[in-house]
Structure 1
């Protein structure tokens, strides 16, 4: 009998995990025509209506900033970069002043990282821009470009250039090269910063590697992964992702924090195959403590297998991660399970070599290398779907850390439906249970002992999913 009940529960769980497939996102192409090969570099939104994107050189003009004020339904050109020419008057390609990453903090404040160590800053919503030289030239050589720009607010932020992290606390009036020093980094090794993000005013997470050159173009990599400080760089916490895999290469490609505590990282791991080829899988890590610890919560092996390259979340449960060649996955449980949310023909896949994702409110905005801008619309039940709509049970908070409160429906719930609460893991194993009075309208339950993950709470024949942090 126990075996039969376990099978039934697994079927229920399977249904709950696959149910979102019935509410696929509807995608609509929304960008104005800017040439066949418009290469969108980045899109960022500061609320549910206002977003801006940057577009690399196209076959019709030059780099530009595009903007929407209606949640991505319509877009217009907000700023045109000039065409740079050489001494003969011929356009220089690639653009020596290209734009690559953007931060849109408010209606007034826009920051854009550029090549040759420069930064665009606007305090009037993009009507005018100041150009700031963050990195100076050395011995007459042009400095490297700025990338991985992230601003916590209009004053505190940073960007990376030539593997160094530059930070500011006065809106880029001044900046400094942040020296990352920790006892676990040997003196003869060099730390290389690849990307970073602010999760709080004093909280920084950096994707990095620690290595040293042992012969010409031959490096020994000691650590590779995520390093976090919650006190402006005074102390650091290391998460070495190399130890998670016996692989040729592992890489973090994107960092996203929903608030000062909860964040995700996407990436890829590359294996050598027996026939001399390579196999790539996607990765998703998650933190609940500002980046002090990171858990590997998902390894993606679905086609096309080119890793996962950008990740964003609307709330604690609903998010999207994108890969190369049109791969787009969606989660409704905080990143523990993912399902395919876009199916493309071969031509469309090939046009989407690179993709980036952002949210304008609950609407995802997808920017692509050569397939323009796309806006997603969920069916009404697929975002923030309340438990009561599904089965009459209300469960909060979700995600939960210590306690959950279960509220039964005021009508339609019979005492015969159950006087016991059971919690199951995704393997169908009962990991916690408590008795309740059949007529009790609500019940508070301690779940602090449960490991982090996805669980299913059952009363009678009613089941509700929740996430334990």
Structure 2
């Protein structure tokens, strides 16, 4: 799947298929793509660095970082003698600039979905081909030592799809049980929950949905509200911490008719969905929005300088007398300043906006005037 980072309004990923990404903070974003290319920004998308692991690997995938620059990823090597890929966990302590393999690996045949849960806790899911067990591998000392806790024996071909944690003890995990080897994308969805950091997992859902496709990814906005997507246009959600899950087709609009592949919560009230077309959609209180189309509707009448430093004059032309709001968000969708309520009886409105309190970076000015939402890029220089 080729990706374009639409929220920076035009910085392209000109490399191969994206294999992993992490958004630890509005300023720090890191994306890895095949075979061993890493793109990173430390200033909210103003500038990008092209990096590599220098581990002579065939692929680095499924990376995860914290905001302090510590991160993990899966490194793939192709073994010509075995004709198979081998897997190792790698780490970086300097925002992805340099990488090294963990001296002590979890010790199984296959690793997936490594995560940095806290400053010291690192996790992944491991698979043992001999016992057929999926294990939750957890380290409390940044990967120096590991403990392994059984999740499920894959006697019915169960496979991990995704897991997430809201803190260092409470998390959820999705599995998929296919009907047959011949139909690996048709089967039942399973969701488990842990309240002890992954030592034990309790089944909360075992159900065939319509359509009966894998539950691909899962994210929680807080301890109660979460959403899980499938390989089709199916969304299920929970409002009680994953105890019960509800399928509701009202979450899907006609435009999202391709396979939903990724989901992220920048704030508890908003989430983003991407599909195999490379489109990214935002869902909030106004419903679904195609991010690329929304950012394309930039008001060309703006006269404030970019980059701006402390304050600027925002101008907008109105079709009729109306009330509207001016909001400023960072690139992850988080409100950067309090919203400004406006009213104008004339056809032109101007507002002086003080941005001196904002750190430097890229922001978006969102208005709902003229019965439509428009986005204007704002660069805070210093």
TM tier, smaller: 0.5 to 0.7
Give 1:78's aligned residue: 10
Give 1:447's aligned residue: none
Larger radius of gyration: 1
**Cα–Cα, structure 1 residues 344 and 314, in superposed 2: closer, same or farther, change >3 Å?**
closer
**Cα–Cα, structure 1 residues 307 and 338, in superposed 2: closer, same or farther, change >3 Å?**
same
Give 2:293's aligned residue: none
**Cα–Cα, structure 1 residues 360 and 121, in superposed 2: closer, same or farther, change >3 Å?**
closer
Equivalent pair of 1:352/1:371 in contact (CA under 8 Å): no
Is the aligned partner of 1:165 residue 2:97? no
Give 1:372's aligned residue: 279
Equivalent pair of 1:109/1:154 in contact (CA under 8 Å): no
Unaligned regions of 5+ residues in structure 2, if any? 77-86, 287-382
Equivalent pair of 1:120/1:132 in contact (CA under 8 Å): yes
Give 1:90's aligned residue: none
Give distance in 1, aligned partners of 2:113 and 2:125: 5
Give distance in 2, aligned partners of 1:198 and 1:355: 22
Equivalent pair of 2:103/2:144 in contact (CA under 8 Å): no
Superposed displacement of residue 302, structure 1 = 1.6
Larger helix fraction of residues:
1
Unaligned regions of 5+ residues in structure 1, if any? 1-38, 40-55, 57-62, 68-75, 83-94, 138-142, 212-219, 380-469
What is the aligned counterpart of 1:330 among 226, 234, 237? 237
**Cα–Cα, structure 1 residues 118 and 345, in superposed 2: closer, same or farther, change >3 Å?**
closer
TM-score, L = length of structure 1: 0.53
1:425-467 Cα distance to aligned partner (Å, 9 max, x none): xxxxxxxxxxxxxxxxxxxxxxxxxxxxxxxxxxxxxxxxxxx
Is the aligned partner of 1:269 residue 2:177? yes
Greater relative contact order (Cα < 8 A, sep 6+): 1
**Cα–Cα, structure 1 residues 242 and 271, in superposed 2: closer, same or farther, change >3 Å?**
farther
What is the aligned counterpart of 1:254 among 137, 141, 162? 162
Give 1:153's aligned residue: 67
Equivalent pair of 1:117/1:161 in contact (CA under 8 Å): no
Give 1:202's aligned residue: 120
Give distance in 2, aligned partners of 1:369 and 1:203: 32
Equivalent pair of 1:237/1:292 in contact (CA under 8 Å): no
**Cα–Cα, structure 1 residues 254 and 106, in superposed 2: closer, same or farther, change >3 Å?**
same
1:304-339 Cα distance to aligned partner (Å, 9 max, x none): 111211001111111100111111001011111111
Residue 146 of structure 1: SS of its match in structure 2?
Answer: strand
Give distance in 1, aligned partners of 2:265 and 2:96: 27
Equivalent pair of 1:180/1:191 in contact (CA under 8 Å): no
What is the aligned counterpart of 1:242 among 146, 152, 155? 152
Is the aligned partner of 1:107 residue 2:17? no
**Cα–Cα, structure 1 residues 122 and 364, in superposed 2: closer, same or farther, change >3 Å?**
closer
1:67-114 Cα distance to aligned partner (Å, 9 max, x none): 1xxxxxxxx6230244xxxxxxxxxxxx5x333322222232111112
Superposed displacement of residue 265, structure 1 = 1.6
Residue 291 of structure 1: SS of its match in structure 2?
Answer: coil
**Cα–Cα, structure 1 residues 329 and 371, in superposed 2: closer, same or farther, change >3 Å?**
farther
1:377-421 Cα distance to aligned partner (Å, 9 max, x none): 359xxxxxxxxxxxxxxxxxxxxxxxxxxxxxxxxxxxxxxxxxx
Residue 192 of structure 2: SS of its match in structure 1?
Answer: strand
**Cα–Cα, structure 1 residues 106 and 221, in superposed 2: closer, same or farther, change >3 Å?**
same
**Cα–Cα, structure 1 residues 377 and 174, in superposed 2: closer, same or farther, change >3 Å?**
closer
Give 2:111's aligned residue: 193
Give 2:100's aligned residue: 176
The number of equivalent residue pairs is 275
Give distance in 2, aligned partners of 1:164 and 1:152: 20
Give distance in 2, aligned partners of 1:355 and 1:175: 28
TM-score, L = length of structure 2: 0.64
